Amino acid sequence: MRFDGKRILVTGASRGIGRALALQLAAEGAEVLALACSSEALDDLPEGIERLACDLTDGSARTALIAGLQLQRLDGVINNAGIQITADFAKGTADPQDIVQELAVNLTAPMHLAAGLLPVLAQSPGSFLVNVTSGLALAPKPLAPVYCASKAGLRSFTRALRYQAEDAGLRVQITDCVMALAATQMTDGRGRGKISPNTAAAALLNGAAAGKIEIWVGQMKLLRLIHRLSPALAARILRG
């Protein structure tokens, strides 16, 4: 697959991996639709990249976004936006509003976008949809239970969506990108051995271009092997 000339929506495009995706796609000749919570957050993107503002926690805003996109040609969607909030349910510090917000961005929004945009993608030859998940979808860590649950849910949803598309004869490549820990604002102060956003974005795009339905980025390749051989060992590693 080539990205040249394709119209591609990238969520969470104001910084980190999303920004790197937008820039790399634009460099390859794609027509990039960069989405963030506010248009101001996208001001420093180069000319030629279309800026879209949408609060993904707001169902009405998502509906309006989808309605506009349904009137256009769309060749690709990369659901990259994500948030991670530390919460300790055992200590009573889990905020119900945080739970709703985290699930909305990480799980509900990708589902909503898929529901509204899959028929649009199906009209474009060589179209694709990538959902960015995490190794924490396989084995959770204690500090971010809602994030882990949302990524596990998104991974399962992505596979089920692929099955539905295949059964319906829709020629849309649906991919789960199991992302490694990258050096972004969200992961500041968390973990070691982070890869750069540029490296993460390149791995995703290379995998999508190669037609992969699962992309295992960086150390996630090793986690995949460990999880196959011993799920208990993978759980211990990620639990820390």
**Taking a C-beta distance cutoff of 8 angstroms, is the pair 78, 130 a contact?**
yes
Q: Per-residue pLDDT for 189 more than 60?
A: no
pLDDT band with cut points at 50, 70 and 90 for residue 59: very high
Q: Per-residue pLDDT for 191 more than 80?
A: no
Looking at residue 160, its pLDDT comes to 99
For residue 56, the number of C-alpha atoms closer than 13 Å in the C-beta half-sphere is 26
pTM: 0.93
> What is the per-residue burial (b if ≥16 Cβ within 10 Å, else e) of 4-19?
eebbbbbbbbbbbbbb
**Taking a C-beta distance cutoff of 8 angstroms, is the pair 174, 154 a contact?**
no
Which secondary structure element, helix H or strand E, spans residue 228, and what is its range? helix 220-229
163 is an active site residue: no
Report in angstroms the alpha-carbon separations of 66 from 47, 116, 133, 200, 207.
Answer: 23, 6, 22, 27, 26
Q: List domains and CATH numbers for the chain.
A: 7-239 (3.40.50.720)
Distance of CA 37 to the CA centre of its chain: 15
- Report the range of poorest mean pLDDT among 50-59, 159-168, 220-229: 220-229
How far is residue 197's CA from residue 182's CA, in Å, rounded to a whole number?
A: 6
Mode of pairing for the β-strands spanning 127-134 and 31-36: unpaired
Q: Supply the mean pLDDT for the chain.
A: 94
CA distance between the termini of the chain: 39
- Which tokens go with 228? 């196959």
Looking at residue 19, its pLDDT comes to 97
Residue 156, C-beta contacts closer than 8 angstroms, at least 6 positions apart? none
Looking at residue 236, its pLDDT comes to 84
Angle CA(80)–CA(37)–CA(199) in degrees, nearest 5?
A: 30
Looking at residue 238, its pLDDT comes to 79
How far is residue 191's CA from residue 23's CA, in Å, rounded to a whole number?
A: 26
Q: Which of 3, 128, 147, 216 is catalytic?
A: 147
Quote helix, strand, coil % in the chain, to nearest 5. Answer: 45, 15, 35
How far is residue 84's CA from residue 80's CA, in Å, rounded to a whole number?
A: 13
Mean pLDDT for 96-107 is: 98
Q: How many of the other CB atoms lie within 10 Å of CB of 85?
A: 17
Looking at residue 76, its pLDDT comes to 99
Length of the chain: 240
